[in-house]
Structure formats: C-alpha cells, structure tokens
Structure 1
Amino acid sequence: MADRTVALNSAAKKTPADSRVTLAHIMSEHDTNLYGTIHGGVVMKLIDDAAAAAAGRHADGPAVTVSVDRMTFLAPVRAGDLLSVHATLERAGRTSMTVAARVTAERWNAAGPVAEVATGRLTFVAIDAEGAPRPVPALDDGTNASGDPLA
C-alpha cells in the first residue's frame, strides 16, 4: 500500500501557482482594538482562511491547520484598509503542506501605496471524510532532484 501511495503522490504533481489564493477584505471599525488598529487575531484569521484555501486546492479536498509556524506583524492595519492575503504552497510532504502568506494593505483613507503589513507560514494536513490524514500531490517547484532549477 505504501508503494501505491508514493506512486499516487508523485503522479499528480502540482505547481505553487495551481493553488495560489488571494483573499481581500475591507477592514471595518468593528475589528479595531483600543488603539484604533485592527486586532492581530483578525489578521491571523484571514491568513488562516487564505492558507487553508490554498492547502485545500493543492490537496483537492479538506485540509486542517496543524501549526502556525511563524506570524510576523510588520505594520498596523486600520479600519478602511483593503487587506489582501496572498497564500502560496511552499512544501508538500506525504500528507502535510506548508503555506506561506503575505498580507498587504491598500490604505484607501490616505490614498497611499500598498504596504506589506504581515507575513505568516502555516502547516496543514489533508484529511479524508473520517478526519484521518490522507496523501497529497507532490509539489513541482521547478527544480530537479538536486535542487537545481529546471531549464
């Protein structure tokens, strides 16, 4: 059975572009803290939502968050900002996937440039109907077995 799983995993390779997701959300005053900026937990939820969608696309089905490997807040987000979370698969194991997220804010109130406001890296596991881990397609990252880029 293990040989069949490996064969299935390598036969259905996908690229990071196959599962890329962008989630956009206009932030409201409902999401602010006492300092007038958006709660970090609200930003984290949007990151988890976008990353879960990317993992689910790669896995062709449900995937659950198993860890938040890194979360970095770079700049405050304010009510009225258009927040965009860009999620891309970075790694695929047998049943797990690592997704990187980059968050930008378009400051509509000040008509300023788009700013990077947060980044995150999360790990997901694909699950079957019973909630058990299941194999995911391999990730074709454009390099060969030695790590050299393919021509």
Structure 2
Amino acid sequence: MAAPLEEQLITGLLLVQGSNYRDVLDGAAPGVPGGAVRVAVDLIEAGPERPHTAGSLAAAAGVGTRALQGGFRRQLGMTPTEYLRDARLRRVREELLALDPQVGAVARVARRWGFRHLGRFSGWYRDRFGESPAQTLRR
C-alpha cells in the first residue's frame, strides 16, 4: 500500500518543485511502444491480486510511468489502475458466480482479489455489472 502513495508523493513533489523533469511532467506523455501496454496487461491478467502499481508495471514494461499511462489511455481508454480494477472486478464476478450462495461470502472474495474498502468495491461492482455483488452471488 505504501508504493502507490510513495509514487504519488514523488510525482507531486516533482510537479510543484522546479526540476529537470518539469517539462516532461507538464507535457504530453512521450510515445509508448504498443508492446509496453501489452506487457503491462499481461502482468495484470496473470496476477490481478498482486499489488501492482503504475510504477511497477511501467518498470516491468521498460518505460516511464507517465508514458505507460498515456499508452493505456490512447490504446485502451483507461489508466493502468483502472484496468487493474476492472480485471479484479471480473475475477470477483467469476468467483461469485461459481460459489454456492449458502457458503459464499462477498467480503472474503473481494478481499482475496485486492479490494480493501468494501463500500467502494460495491459501488465499482454495481457500476461495472449493473447489480450488487450479493445479487450476483444469489444467481
């Protein structure tokens, strides 16, 4: 949980303090090879429960964080974090549909896939699938 906070803090400091990177941070993200987005997507899909961050995905793909974010926006219409959330939501749904409603527990499944704040999780789930996680479990 500290890695995303650290990444945001460093980016924020670079934005408010004059630095050699100011123009890069203010400007459009440099072009990112299509393969970098594919590498990040493959990492997410292989282990969405892992604590991925935009920075760790960018490092694994061999590009900068802002470049990867720009590539995701251009190619997929979302950020890496939004893609990760969607992958986790899809996995939660698959698991809920396969569980016996008598023994299934939505909170346990949500936590297993990396959702710590159950209220936000429920809202994201409803927005994505048009029903609550409990309704999915009862199907």
Bucket of the pairwise TM-score, normalised by the shorter protein: under 0.3
TM-score (norm 1): 0.26
* Greater share of helix: 2
* Greater share of strand: 1
The answer to which structure, 1 or 2, has the higher relative contact order (CA under 8 A, 6+ apart) is: 1
